Amino acid sequence: MTKRKFGLGLSLMLAAGTLLAGCGSDEKTSSGGSEGEKGGEETSDFSVAMVTDVGGVDDKSFNQSAWEGLQQFGEEKGLEKGDGGYDYLQSASDADYNTNLNNLIRRDFDVVYGIGFLMEGAVKEIAEQQPEAQIAIIDAVVDAPNVASVLFKEQEGAFLAGVAAALMSESKKIGFVGGMEIPVIERFEAGFLEGVAAVDESIEVDVQYTGAFDKAELGKTTANRMYSAGADIIFHAAGGTGNGVFTEAKERKEANPDTPVWVIGVDSDQYDEGQTGDTNVTLTSVLKRVDSAVINISEQAMNGEFPGGETITYGLSDEGVGLADSRGAIPEDVLKQIEDYKQQVIDGDIEVPETVE
C-alpha cells in the first residue's frame, strides 16, 4: 500500500478488508431515517444502528465518524437506511440514551452501538435488561457478555499532534481546548502535552476545558482568549464545541491574512472545517478511526463472531490513531521529524502516558 503522510492511506486498507481501527445539535431525539422495510433481493438480513451522544451525528468529529462507518458498512452490504438495514438515533441530552438504545433494540437491529464515554451507564443498564441484545460501546468499557467495548490510544495520536505543534509554533505558546474532563479527553491532553515537551519543554501550553461537547460558542470564546494571549496553534478535543475554535481562527485569518493562527482537529480529518477563502487554518488532525472500528465489529457480528465481553484497543501500531495529511501546511523536514517520533512510539522507545503526570 502506498501510504500518505504519516502512513494514513487507510481507505485503501479498508477496501481490502484489513483491520484498521481498534464528542452539536439542539434537535430533540430523532431517528436518522425512516423506519422503512428491508431492501431488495441483494439486501442482507443483518442490520446495525447507533445512538449518538449529545454532540450530534453531524458534529464533524466523533459521532459523524461513527455514522460514516455505519453508512459505509451498510452500503457495501446492500442494506437500506431504516429498519432492517442501518440507522441512527440522535440524543439531545443524556436523558435520551436509555430510551434510544431500547428503541433500536425493539426495532430488532442485530448490533446497536453506543457512541461515546458518556453512554457507559446507559449501555451497562440496557445490557443487563436485554441480555440477548448485542451492544457495542465506543470509548468505554462495560463488563458484560453481550457488550463489545472499543478503546483507542488517543494519547499516541495526540503525542504526534504535540510534536507537530511544538515544531511549527512561532510564538512558543500553544493551546489545548478540551470538552468534558473525562478519561478519553484527558488521554488526548496527556499525549499532547507529552509531545510538546518532547520537542521543547519551555513551550507554554494553555489547557482549558469547556465542560461541553456541543457548545460551539464556548469553543470560540476559549480560542479567542488563547489567540489573544499569544497562542498560534490550538488543538481541540471537544467535539462540536471545537467547531467554535475553527470559527475564531478563520475570523482572525479573514481579518488579517498574515495572522499566524492554526487549529489541530480531532477524530476525523477536519481540513474542510478550516477553509476560509483561499487559505486554510487546519494544520492537521488527530485521526481516531471510529469508522473503521464500527465496520470491523459489524463484520464480525455479521459472521457470527460478535466480540461480546471483549475489550478491543487500537493505537498507532495498527493505524487506529494517527495524523491526517497536512496538505502542505507542515513542511517536509518537519514531517520527517514527526515520522521519527511516530516510529519511536511504535517501537516502544517512547511510552506515551494516558494521564497528565
pLDDT for residue 43: 52
On whether both 187 and 255 belong to a single domain, the answer is yes
Residue 354 covered by a domain: no
pTM: 0.83
How confident is the prediction for the chain on average, in pLDDT?
89
On whether both 173 and 275 belong to a single domain, the answer is yes
Q: Look up the domain containing 301 and give its range.
A: 5-152+289-318
Residue 352 covered by a domain: no
Residue 267 covered by a domain: yes
pLDDT above 80: residue 2 = no
**Residue range 199-210, pLDDT digits in tens:** 999 999 999 999
pLDDT for residue 317: 94
Domain count, the chain: 2
Region 93-103: what's the mean pLDDT? Answer: 97
Cα gap 291→30, rounded to integer Å: 21
On whether both 161 and 237 belong to a single domain, the answer is yes
CATH number at residue 161: 3.40.50.2300
**Residue range 217-255, pLDDT digits in tens:** 999 999 999 999 999 999 999 999 999 999 999 999 999
Percent of the chain scoring above 90 in pLDDT: 83
On whether both 143 and 32 belong to a single domain, the answer is yes
On whether both 52 and 112 belong to a single domain, the answer is yes
